[in-house]
Amino acid sequence: MKKLETYVKGSFFTLGTVGPGRFFYLLISLMLLVFIYPFLRKSGTGLQIMDLFFLIILLAALYAISHNRKLFTVCLVCAIAGFAVNSHRYFIESSLLHLIAICSYGLFFILVAVAILLYVLKDDKVTTNTINGALCFYLLLGIIWAFLFAAIETLHAESFLIFGQDIAAQSDNLFADFIYYSFATLTTLGYGDIAPLSHPSRALSTLEAVTGQMYLAVLIARLVGLHIVHSKK
């Protein structure tokens, strides 16, 4: 643990002292994303609401890591690039631009997730921030994998099927479907309505399921253990 603390203190991802509520706002926005996003449709007003809602999540994530200027700057660039490039769909349909937006957003959330995880691991005392951070990381895992699935579908059509048909052709909110599939895989729920077809999509799906179980088994167990230790003092 001392080696981890030494690494974190000098790491690009360190958050330093995180004030109360930093992770809370991100946690609320991520939970709203999971519950509300599927009801928005990729047309008309729904498209604008989707962009506005996603912008709120980006701002909440930036606020959560704002203590680290270097990390904040890199994530800000990724967020601006992703949001700007993603706006192309109002004017033109381009698979390349869509892929660039997915990669920018994906990198953004990966950096945020790693920073939050290191903060949670280095904290020897279980606080509200620690719990909120652990929950944020778990939700971020599902969202990151949703972006990975979207990238695979963009690069290789028909990598995923929904009720036996190509998901891109059948869905009117593709990213919402991937969020649903991602969390169904992360929690090993697996309804079976969406299925991976290509080898990369199957490999990523398996990796996500394993990661979700390892996270719950290792990190949550550690937090419970720390809480028990400190409660006895």
Contact 175, 144 (CB under 8 A): no
Beta partners for residue 162, in sequence order: 165, 194
Orientation of helix 95-122 relative to helix 2-9, angle to 10° = 130
AA identity, residue 148: L
CA–CA dist 8, 215 (Å, integer): 19
- Order the strands of the 160-162 sheet from edge to edge: 165-166, 160-162, 194-196
CA–CA dist 56, 51 (Å, integer): 9
Strands 165-166, 194-196: pairing is: unpaired
Q: Residue 29 is encoded by which pair of tokens? A: 């926005």
Q: For position 153, what pLDDT does the model report?
A: 92
Cα dihedral 200/203/204/207 (nearest 10): -160
Contact 106, 61 (CB under 8 A): no
pLDDT band with cut points at 50, 70 and 90 for residue 231: low
CB atoms within 10 A of CB 162: 17
Lowest mean pLDDT among 2-16, 49-63, 77-91, 139-153: 2-16
CA–CA dist 135, 151 (Å, integer): 25
CA–CA dist 2, 146 (Å, integer): 34
The residue assigned the tokens 């994303």 is 33
Contact 121, 133 (CB under 8 A): no
Q: For position 7, what pLDDT does the model report?
A: 44
21-75 pLDDT per residue, tens: 789 999 999 998 888 877 776 666 767 778 888 899 999 999 999 888 899 999 9
φ, ψ (nearest 5 deg) of residue 12:
-60, -25
Q: For position 4, what pLDDT does the model report?
A: 44
169-206 pLDDT per residue, tens: 777 778 888 999 999 999 988 888 899 999 999 999 99
Mean pLDDT, the chain, rounded, equals 84
The residue assigned the tokens 């994998």 is 145
pTM for this model (two decimals)? 0.87
CA–CA dist 39, 176 (Å, integer): 8
When pLDDT is averaged across residues 197-223 and rounded to a whole number, the result is 89
- Provide the residue ranges of all domains of the chain, joining segments of one domain with +: 2-231
DSSP 51-66: HHHHHHHHHHHHHHTT
